[in-house]
Structures are given as structure tokens and as C-alpha cells.
Amino acid sequence: MNRKLLLPSLLLFTSSFVFAQDKVIDNFIKEANENSQLEKLAHELLDVVGPRLVGTPQMKQANDWVVKKYADWGINAKNEQWGQWRGWERGVTHVDLVSPRLRTLEAIQLAWSPSTNGKSIKAEAIILPEDITDSIAFQKWLPNVKGKLVLVSHNQISGRPEKNWEEFATKDLFEKYKKDKAEDLRKFSRNLAKTGLKAKELALALENAGAAAVIINNWSQGFGVDKVFGANTKKIPTVNLSVEDYGLVYRLAKFGSKPMLNVTSESKELGLVPTYNTVAELKSKQKPNEYVMLSAHLDSWDAASGATDNGSGTILMMETMRILKKFYPNPKRTILVGHWGSEEQGLNGSKAFVEDHPEVVKNLQALFNQDNGTGRVVNLGGQGFAQSEKFINRWLAKVPDTIKNQIKTSFPGVPGAGGSDFASFVAAGSPGFSLGSLSWDYGTYTWHTNRDSYDKIVFDEIRSNAVLAAILVYMACEDPEKFTTEKGDLPINERTGKKAVWPEQRKSNRKGGVD
């Protein structure tokens, strides 16, 4: 062999390969920025389909919509049933204060709330006693709720966020407000504890004592925003009022004005219904049985349209798959994307996939999950895998500096025990990574709230994330080396003082919403 000829040939081959890589990546960037489909996808999913609570017809509609969009792009996709859930469909919620004055209140029934059965409830609203002595005294008071609407939540002393107080109040006034707020909450919590009942038990006790409905407020500490989860009642409606309207009704009841409300809360019970994950695939001919995955949950809570939790993650992964199909149609490893169901009730869809597809879990090169809002990705950790730094840094190498330089990495990191669907894979010892996004006040204003709507999406941030996700998938597919799943040396937990342990793999709840 002529070594003098071999070296230039190798250099020529290497430079040609790098050039081909760069051209593919350039195509990704151009497509993401100049032919983005994100706004259209968001409109169809969030405005037309709307929220996607597990067990609702809208969730199945979303599954079918995702399959059709992939088919339109020439990508194979299917719905995989993983379980069943209590079927339920939201109807109209309408609440009016009719005495001592007239006002239409901002209200929404909780998920899976029983309905008013086609009628309206006109009844007096009352509050829990503010001076409960013990559980025996509370049980003696309980018959007073018969036929009444019972307010059970803490009444906020101010509906202004702390940021607003901090900006405009004097320093002394701000500190006083924080102290008063904390003491008021402690007083309420101590009083509630004297009932001897937890939140679910209290709701059922009121129901069994003949209450007409339960009224709550779950304020999210921001202007106009509440968190809306599921109802604890089985027979009577549970309705959330805005912090402003809850306070109004609370004060009227407290000071003896005997507020009368007219409540309509419509919904339908649909029995047990099948629940699905939607999975799409770009099949490899070279290494068909090794996998790189994209991941985002499709389901949401349903007080708004589930835009940033997790509509933004859903359209990100769909857009990334569209770009990959167009410019990387023959990947070196099979590319999968999972749009999971029932993440909000405990990662059930992704847990079921992990249980049902050991061949994917065993041969997974990497999974990239996004599920914490509309912001640009700024955090990427190694999830406790000993060799994660070597692989992830190699994959990040081709990401434009304008994107890469904003990402804080941590290696080997700590394995995620929950929070989102990547954790289902990590618990099984498989490399699932979270693309952690910039907040945009996610925790206060959009996470599980009545304001998580289309207008909260920042599309330019998601376009940046699509470039990142496409490059990460491409580089992970092209990597000649298989990811090493050796577990790293985990750190000491600062809270407990004990060494962190690898999270335990837990089973999916495949029959949910029923006792």
C-alpha cells in the first residue's frame, strides 16, 4: 500500500463527509427559518382541536390529527392504544351572582366534574367556619351545608402578584405584605387541618352532607390566572372562580350578605374509553434496529388550550420530523417520535411505551424530550449517564453558536425521577434527555392554567428549538458509536445528605380515572 497516496485520499474523504454534513445542517436551518409550519400547526392543534384532556373526544381528535399531518408529509404514523381512561367531555360553565347584586362571574368547572344535569343550581354560597376547634365540632357544623354552595379555598388578601407589590410598594410595605400573606395562609391551613380531613375527603364529606356544589379558587399568583386540575367530588359539581370573584363572594358570605349564585355546569360522562400514544417513524435501512427519538406529550389539562404544556413541544417535534423527512429521509438509525398520552396523570403513555417496546429501550441511542414551555432551550443535562458528556458535546458540535452558547450543560448530571416523559426512559436505564427551556413565566402564567393559550407561544423561540432538535437527532443518528448506558457516580442529595439513587421504573396506570 502506498501510504503517501492513502493520506491525501483519507483527508479528501473526511473533508467531503464534513461538507455533506454541513450542507444537511444548512438545509435544516434554512427550512426552519424560511418555511416554518409552526404557526399553522399551532392554529390547527390549539384553536381548532383545543385542549386534550385524557379520556376526552378532543384527545382522540388530536391523535388522529397528528397521524394525518404526518401522512401528508409522507411519514408513517399510527395510534397505539396503551390503556383506558374515564371518558368525559366538558360542557358550558356559567355562574352568576344574583343577590345582593348582579354580576356574571369568571368560572370554570374542574376536569371530570359532575354536571348540573341540564339544569341550573340557584343557592346561597357559604364559607367554612373560620374558627374550627376540632373535627368533632366540624362534624356538628356539617349539616349546615345542605343545599348550599360551599367555598372551601383560602381567600387571598391581595390579587396582585408579588412582583407588582415589589415594584410599587415601599420596602417596608412590601415586607409587611409578605409577612401578612404568609400568616394568613398559615391561619387558614391550621383551621382547615382541624376538620381532620384532607382535600379529597373534605369534598366528599360536603357532598355526602348534601351540599349543592363546591366552589374553589386555585390562584396561580399572577394577574388573571388560576390553575385548574381535576374535581374530587363524585356527584356534585366543583367550580373554580377567579381570585377576584372568589374574593367577592367570600366577603359577601363572611359579612352576612348571603350571596345567591346561579350555577350551570354541563359535562358528559362517556364511560371507559381507549387511550393512545401517537408514534411516527423514519425507518433506517442501515441500522433499522437502533433508534433516536423525539418526545413530547400530546395531552393537556383543559382550562385553556394547552398551548405551552405541551402544545409547543408537540408542534416542535412535528416540525422537526417534517424537516428531517425533507432533508434526511434515509437516516443511519431509525428515527421515532412519541406523542404521549396521560403525561399529566403520571407519565402513563410513555411508561406504557417503555413497558411495551423493550426493543426500543434496549437499542436507544438517545431520546430528546421537550415539555416546559415555549422558550428557547437553555439546559441539557446528562441524566446521570457516565459517558453522556462525550456524546452530547459531540452532537452539539454542529449546532450554531447562537443557539449552542445559550445552553448550559451538566455532566453526568442527575437522573430525572419524574417531571416529564424522558424520565420513563431514564428509569429503565435508557438515554432520555430533557431539552429544558427558558421560563417565560411558565410556572405562574401557563403551566396548568386557564391562560395557556395560542397567544402565549413565542414562535421564534420554537424555530430555534427546531434547528437544535433536528441537528441533535441527525448527529446522534450519524454517530458511528453507540451510546454507552453505563451509570455515573451520583452525587450526595443536599436535602437528605444521602447519596442519590437511580429512579425506580414504575408501571403505567392503564385504567385511569375510576376507583
Start-to-end C-alpha separation, the chain = 75
* Per-residue pLDDT, 493: 81
Bridge pairing between strands 260-282 and 76-99: antiparallel
Check whether 21 has a pLDDT greater than 90: no
CA angle 156, 162, 164 (to 5 degrees): 110
69-122 pLDDT, tens digit per residue, is 999 999 999 999 999 999 999 999 999 999 999 999 999 999 999 999 999 999
107-141 pLDDT, tens digit per residue, is 999 999 999 999 999 999 999 999 999 999 999 99
* Per-residue pLDDT, 284: 98
* Per-residue pLDDT, 167: 98
Rounded CA-CA distance 408/219 in Å is 32
Rounded CA-CA distance 328/308 in Å is 28
Domains 33-87+272-512 and 101-258 agree in fold: no
* Per-residue pLDDT, 3: 53
Rounded CA-CA distance 152/204 in Å is 12
The helix/strand count (H/E) of the chain reads as 15, 18
Q: Torsion-angle region of residue 256: left (phi > 0), alpha (psi -120 to 50) or beta?
A: left
354-391 pLDDT, tens digit per residue, is 999 999 999 999 999 999 999 999 999 999 999 999 99
> Tell me, what amino acid is at 135?
S
Rounded CA-CA distance 274/81 in Å is 7
Q: Which residue has the cell 356538628?
A: 140
Cell of 482: 453507540
* Per-residue pLDDT, 78: 98
- CATH topology assigned to domain 33-87+272-512: Aminopeptidase (3.40.630)
pTM of the predicted model, to two decimals? 0.94
CA distances from 352 to 43, 88, 358, 460 (A): 29, 22, 11, 33
Domain coordinates in residue numbering, the chain: 33-87+272-512, 101-258
Burial class (CB in 10 A: 0-12, 13-18, 19+), 397: exposed
pLDDT-derived band at 6 (thresholds 50, 70, 90) equals low
313-333 pLDDT, tens digit per residue, is 999 999 999 999 999 999 999
265-322 pLDDT, tens digit per residue, is 999 999 999 999 999 999 999 999 999 999 999 999 999 999 999 999 999 999 999 9
Burial class (CB in 10 A: 0-12, 13-18, 19+), 222: buried
CA distances from 67 to 7, 169, 185 (A): 49, 52, 47
For residue 157, the tally of other CB atoms under 10 A from its CB is 13
What CATH architecture does domain 101-258 belong to? 3-Layer(bba) Sandwich (3.50)
Contact 210, 142 (CB under 8 A): no
Question: How confident is the model over 204-222, as a mean pLDDT?
Answer: 98
Rounded CA-CA distance 34/183 in Å is 54
Helix axes 57-72, 312-327, angle to 10 degrees: 20
SS3 11: helix
